[in-house]
Structure 1
Amino acid sequence: METLEAIQARHRKEQRDLQSRITSKKKNATKKTRKGVNEECTALEQDLKERQELELAAPNGDRDVDEQLGEEGEEPNGVGQNTAGNGTATDTNGITDRLKDTTISSDTHTPTQYSQPPSKIQTQPSSEPTVQIQAQSEGQGGKKRNRQKDRLARRAAEREEAADAAEQEAWGMTDHRGLERSSLERTFSTHGLIEHEIRPDGHCLFSAVADQLAQRKIPILPSSGNGTIHKVTGEGEGKAPPYRVVRRVATDYMDSHPDDFVPFLEEPLESYVPKIRDTAEWGGQLELLALASAYQVEIKVVQNGRTETIQPSGGHGQREAEKKGDMTIWLAYYRHGYGLGEHYNSLRKKS
């Protein structure tokens, strides 16, 4: 029989093995499978905990474990039994009770009259006491089965089988995150860029653009063609975080050039602009075009397998870049790399 120390050592090994397995599952989970994998891992941990608690309780006495788990339909050995001198158990009380409960019928249906002598009446004992007697006699020869333990073991086996199937399916899936990362890093290396992490909080596009503007010493409040500084409604440098100023620059440009954006919107510009300006709504292609035009810069977005270039309206930014030097800002776009979904990082030049 396994000692308590051996059981505890085995439990520690099982816990380490389970943690390694859970770590592997979570590492290979994608955005679509993450919720199911987390639920599966929680179930595996709970099953292991329940099983180990049962095994630790067993050395204290099988009867205590049975009572704690609430066995159903089992009675202690020896109830209602008398032991004869030769060691054979007889259930005289049970036979008497069955005789009392026996329904006797006659042709006349009179309780006090019989069609034959009482001694010859064939009684039909109920099946339930017979089943109990058989269960008791079987229990005398060995240890009782614990039905609660059997149910827990069966449920754990079913979950283990489902977990193995899910793991096999995960191994067969394409590692989109890894492939995307490899493609982006090759482009970073080609252009001499290093990645600057931006917080994934819904403002990532505007924060990344603000970082790029600061790297190239481009004023966050853009100027018009005649050198006049545009005022951003209700905001100014030092009064709002940079991403908020960049949001307002984008929406102010969209407000003043509606024909460039209305055909691509699924809602009125009057409701779209406040949402982009005042909330953490994600920015996208339209906001990149507005920012390229407002700041008169070229924006290059490095993504999986390609690099997209956004030119300002009319190509004026390209001519400005030729006059002033490098006016190109670089962003990295992730579709699979972050748990919240699409994300932008800033790409700085290697020093």
Structure 2
Amino acid sequence: MSDPYGNASSSSGSSLNSSSHDTEDDHTIAAMLAEDEKLRYDGKLGKRLSHLDSIPHTPRVITAIPDANDATLDHERLAQRLATYGLAEMRIEGDGNCQFRALADQLFQNPDYHKYIRKEVIKQLKRHRNLYDSYVPMKYRSYVKKMKRLGEWGDHVTLQAAADRFEAKICLVTSFRDTCYIEILPKDRSPSRELWLSFWSEIHYNSLYQTGEVPTRTHRKKHWLF
């Protein structure tokens, strides 16, 4: 009797199915992106924070991570700010891809599209090196190669690249003591949408919504604990 699972054919079939699934995912993402390009942001969240002054944004890489005690205090400060402004976080997995997951949630209502976001950011970094090179304190090619890896933490350079690639104003409500709110604008063009993220102490990004309007997502992995 032959093996009903046929190792060789199973492997081949699995590969074909995986390739087909990836292609379908790409087509779905492309369709969603094309549809979203037609939309203009309505600024509902922006109206809540329109009275706040944002600081000039300078792209930078991560240089230091706070210790556990400082991080805890910073998170408490962030939670208080969000409550004050009527904002709530959709928790994003803390697997090293949180920046890209949060952006994917804002753009496509699905954090699982983080690989696509990272891929597009890398394309932006490669095609427009002159825009970002001066902010990277290491060999630029090494930086881009590092950022290609899944699980590599995004920084303010990748946020700027995302703002430029998706023509978006990225709005960060932060945990920093002296900086409540940061706006990251696309270079040399007007933004066609707003993306709202919370930013906790160089550690984690979540996706922001109005209180009571946080969507329910199906998460495959454990959330960031806070």
Class of the TM-score when normalised by the shorter of the 2 chains: 0.5 to 0.7
Equivalent position to 1:202, from 96, 100, 103: 96
Q: Distance in 2 between matches of 1:181 and 1:259?
A: 35
SS across alignment from 1:283: coil
Q: How many residues in Structure 1 have an aligned counterpart in Structure 2?
A: 144
For 1:343 and 1:293, how far apart are their aligned partners in 2? 21
Alignment correspondent of 2:198: 332
Taking structure 1 as the reference length, what is the TM-score of the superposition?
0.38
Match for residue 190 of structure 2 among 316, 337, 340: 316
Question: Between Structure 1 and Structure 2, whose CA radius of gyration is higher?
Answer: 1
Q: What SS does structure 2 have at the residue aligned with 1:199?
A: coil
TM-aligned CA deviation for residue 186 of structure 1: 3.0
Larger relative contact order (C-alpha < 8 A, sep ≥ 6)?
Answer: 2
Using the TM superposition, give the Cα deviation of residue 209 of structure 1 relative to its aligned residue in structure 2, in angstroms: 0.7
Task: Give the distance between the partners of 2:150 and 2:181, measured in 1 at CA.
Answer: 28
Please give the alpha-carbon distance, in whole angstroms, between the structure 1 residues aligned to 2:194 and 2:79. Answer: 19
Question: Which whole-Å deviations, capped at 9, do the CAs of 1:12-62 have from their partners, x for residues lacking one?
Answer: xxxxxxxxxxxxxxxxxxx75x7xxxxxxxxxxxxxxxxxxxxxxxxxxxx
SS of equivalent to 1:344? strand
TM superposition score normalised by structure 2: 0.57
Match in the other structure for 1:251: 122
Post-superposition offset of 1:176: 3.2
SS across alignment from 2:190: helix
| Alignment RMSD | 2.4
Aligned partners of 1:212 and 1:348 also within 8 Å:
no
Residue 268 to residue 183, structure 1, CA distance change in 2 (3 Å): same
2:171 partner amino acid: K
CA distance in structure 2 between the aligned counterparts of 1:293 and 1:311, rounded to whole angstroms: 8
The structure where helix makes up a greater share of residues is 1
* Selected match of 1:296 from 143, 167, 192: 167
Equivalent residues in 2 for 1:195-234, closer than 5 Å? 195-215=89-109
Structure 1: gaps (5+ residues): 1-30, 35-174, 221-240, 321-326, 336-340
SS at match of 2:205: strand
CA distance in 2, matches of 1:177, 1:294: 31
Counterpart of 2:190, as a letter, is: H
Question: 1:348 and 2:214 equivalent?
Answer: no
Q: CA–CA distance in 2 between the matches of 1:183 and 1:275? A: 31
Counterpart CA distance in 2 for 1:308 and 1:275 is 25
**Alignment-mate amino acid for residue 282 of structure 1:** W
Cα deviation for residue 177 of structure 1 reads 4.2
- Determine the structure 1 residue equivalent to 2:80: 186
Secondary structure of the corresponding residue to residue 313 of structure 1: coil
The one-letter code of the counterpart of 2:204 is: H
